[in-house]
Amino acid sequence: MDIESKELRIENTVSSEEMEILNAALKGISGWRFYPIAVITNGGMDYHFICKRHPVMSRLEITIAKIYVRIQQNEPKVLAIEEID
């Protein structure tokens, strides 16, 4: 089995290309707004976005969430959204 190891890259700024990936992946999710503050990527098809998460109806409850996005068949897909304590 050939295992390819890639280095993780952590950025505290999110590029416009990465924003497009996140917005496309989150299309259809309602009730929350996500504001990315950092991105972790392996240089391939996996992205972990660290975001501030705001409920649409109330601005009082702000939490931090990690959104795991993978590019599958040239489409970004959300695989997980986890709250970070």
Residues 12-71 have pLDDT tens digits of 999 999 999 999 999 988 888 999 999 999 877 899 999 999 888 876 788 999 999 999
pLDDT for position 1: 43
Q: In the structure, what pLDDT confidence band is assigned to residue 85 with cuts at 50, 70 and 90?
A: confident
* C-alpha–C-alpha distance, residues 67 and 26, integer Å: 9
Whether 6 shows a pLDDT value over 80: the answer reads no
Measured between alpha carbons, how far is residue 31 from residues 3, 58, 84, 85 in Å?
Answer: 39, 10, 18, 20
